[in-house]
Structure 1
Amino acid sequence: MHPFRTAVEARDHDAVEALLADDVEFISPVAFSPYAGKAITAAILRGVLRVFEDFHYVREIANPDGRDHAFVFETTVSGKRITGCDFLHFNDEGLIDNFMVMVRPLSGATALAAAMGEQFEQIKAEAASAMSTEQ
């Protein structure tokens, strides 16, 4: 099993964050613009783990060189079943530099957007705190 999958399924925030490149770009399934940087991406992923219920991966797909992975997952948010996929690209150092999430169905994506909207003040505060301790 891939270390990313192991970390997420264990809800090990530190291990997930350690796999993120400083310049990671996070592409949300519910936001138009991508988020840039490790601090905001790590904070978003912590928020996601707070709103996902009974989260688990069902499939892991990788290209032969190991730099691109797709992790298919199932979860529930606010009573809505969601199927989704994390598409990850790993840089030369083996860190995630591109993280794109897609989810379905629309009712699940809508529930996810609402739940993450409720988390966003905390997410911004966590990211700001992480950025201030880095400096």
Structure 2
Amino acid sequence: MTTHTGLHPAAAASLAIWHDIVAKQSIDALRSITHEQAVFRSPVAHTPYQGADALLMAIGNVMQVFGDFTYHRTAVTADGLNVVLEFSATVEGRQVKGIDFIRFDEQGLIREFEVMIRPLSGLQALAAEMGRRVGQDIAAFKAKT
């Protein structure tokens, strides 16, 4: 288990579970570390998605779309409840770089999960594939503004 200096103990425990989820390519344990009212911010949608079910749907599908997924660097905010995870992956043969921003609460539950990806060609490939997989289903989770 990797130790992340400065991370709140409950957030550190959940981040370790998150890294295990990614390594196993299985979201079985994701619900246990996700708050029911979690917010997921997609790199391709302006409006965030609300609820644990939306987060699980998005993450479960993107794990199938990404190839050669690897985390490279981790940054922790001063309050110990936010992490930034830099990653690389392939999507439809295109190399992408991205960042996962994860905000935990003091119980270690994911409250917000935001993804940013570059370059545009890789983001477009991801958007097209995710649209085919979950487009209509995930739309029901759009947060009301």
Same fold, TM-score > 0.5, yes or no = yes
Is residue 2:65 matched to residue 1:51?
yes
Alignment partners' CA distance in 2, 1:102 and 1:114: 16
1:105 counterpart residue number:
119
Is residue 2:44 matched to residue 1:30?
yes
**Poorly superposed stretches of 4+, deviation over 3 Å:** none
| Matched-pair identity in % | 37
Is residue 2:64 matched to residue 1:66?
no
Alignment partners' CA distance in 2, 1:17 and 1:43: 11
CA contact 1:53–1:77 (8 Å) conserved in 2: yes
1:115 counterpart residue number:
129
Letter of the structure 2 residue corresponding to residue 72 of structure 1: E
| 1:10 CA drift (Å) | 2.1
Greater alpha carbon shift after TM alignment, 12-21 vs 102-111: 12-21
Alignment partners' CA distance in 2, 1:32 and 1:55: 25
The size of the alignment, in residue pairs, is 126
Offset from partner CA, 1:23-72 (integer Å, 9 cap, x none): 10000001111000001110111010010111111111112432000011
Letter of the structure 2 residue corresponding to residue 101 of structure 1: V
Alignment partners' CA distance in 2, 1:66 and 1:12: 26
Q: TM-score, normalised on structure 2?
A: 0.80
Which structure 1 segments of 5+ residues have no match? Answer: 129-135
Which structure 2 segments of 5+ residues have no match? Answer: 3-14
Alignment partners' CA distance in 1, 2:78 and 2:23: 24
Alignment partners' CA distance in 1, 2:64 and 2:85: 19
Greater alpha carbon shift after TM alignment, 4-13 vs 78-87: 4-13
2:110 counterpart residue number:
96
Q: TM-score, normalised on structure 1?
A: 0.85
Change (3 A) 1:6 1:60: farther
Is residue 2:137 matched to residue 1:124?
yes
Select the structure that is richer in helix.
1
Which residue among 75, 78, 87 is the counterpart of 2:89?
75
Which residue among 7, 21, 38 is the counterpart of 1:7?
21
Letter of the structure 2 residue corresponding to residue 106 of structure 1: L
CA RMSD of aligned residues (A): 1.9
